[in-house]
Amino acid sequence: MKMVKMKKSIFIATMVSVSLMSGAVAVVASNGMEKISAFLNHKVQFKVDGNEWTPKSDNGSKLAPVVYKGTTYLPARAVAEAVDAEVKWNGATQTITINTGKGSTGGTSTKPTEKPDKPVEVPQANGIIKLGDKEETTKKMREQAVTLIKLYGEALETGSTKKYDEYITKITADKYPNSPIRDGHQHYKDKFKKKVDEVIAANSKEKIAEYAKAMKAVTLDQVEDYHISDKNEYSQSFSFKYFPKGWTAFSSTYVYFEFGATKYKGTDYELFAAYIN
């Protein structure tokens, strides 16, 4: 069983040599096409910078390399996406162009214009969030859930929880004496880091990249109310659910917020817990 480990420069050279295998070439009747006899090798395995990788078509089906006269050819489009390159097809001139980030030419691009590593824009935090009436706070915290889910995606993508930690520090209260608020900032930062580390460790790099992208793509209308509790003398909680399209129910993300009284028998409630499960 063959094992292929290639660096970016070798990938690009391979794509140039097999440009006619791009998924964009669908005009079989065009001049210049030659009928050949070749084989698909379904046993070839791939590694990109040491990580397992599977080439896939636009609809998600697995692609196999073609073997022709002793040479193995790779699918250009899938390989380009694996190394952050770009493939364009110009039907008028029958030309496939491969860009590695230096300049661009006309044609239909197979790669989205927005890179997956685009940083999450964090909204302005105006201090610790206070508890208002149930309806108003539910709306506000649903918006906060969107932000935290996006930051979760970025943390999975980068492996860093720094931006999430900074945001949590701004919007939540720390420990208060003589208050139901028992856990402080560090408790929830540690909880989030453990969550991120566990998810990264349990999945392939490819799977994490796809899931992180789904988290960062969340919109307000996709976030559902999961459970909104009634206010009592100590606290009130709000939780929300995000079920990313194309993923199983086990991949759903839940965001929890808890408000607590700043002191026993007090009337002021502040957000003290914000975490993802």
Tens-digit pLDDT profile for residues 35-60:
777 777 888 777 665 567 787 766 56
First to last CA, the chain: 40
Same domain, 72 and 167: no
The total domain count for the chain is 2
Structural domain contains residue 117: no
Structural domain contains residue 115: no
Same domain, 149 and 247: yes
* The predicted structure's pLDDT at residue 125: 60
Of 50, 76, 109, which marks where a domain is finished?
Answer: 109
Q: What CA–CA distance (Å, rounded) separates 88 from 77? A: 9
Structural domain contains residue 192: yes
Q: What CA–CA distance (Å, rounded) separates 227 from 86? A: 44
Structural domain contains residue 116: no
Residue 223: is its pLDDT beyond 80?
A: yes
Q: Is 194 exposed, middle or buried (0-12, 13-18, 19+ CB in 10 A)?
A: exposed
Give the confidence band of 90 by pLDDT, cuts at 50, 70, 90: low
Same domain, 188 and 257: yes
Dihedral of alpha carbons 50, 55, 61, 63, sign: negative
Q: What is the pLDDT of residues 151-166, one digit of tens each?
A: 999 999 999 999 999 9
Cβ-Cβ contacts under 8 Å for 160 (sequence gap 6 or more): none
Structural domain contains residue 127: no
Residue 271's domain comprises: 134-276
Same domain, 8 and 92: yes
Structural domain contains residue 128: no
Same domain, 154 and 225: yes
Structural domain contains residue 267: yes
**Which tops the pLDDT comparison, 34 or 255?**
255
Of 109, 144, 176, which marks where a domain is finished?
Answer: 109
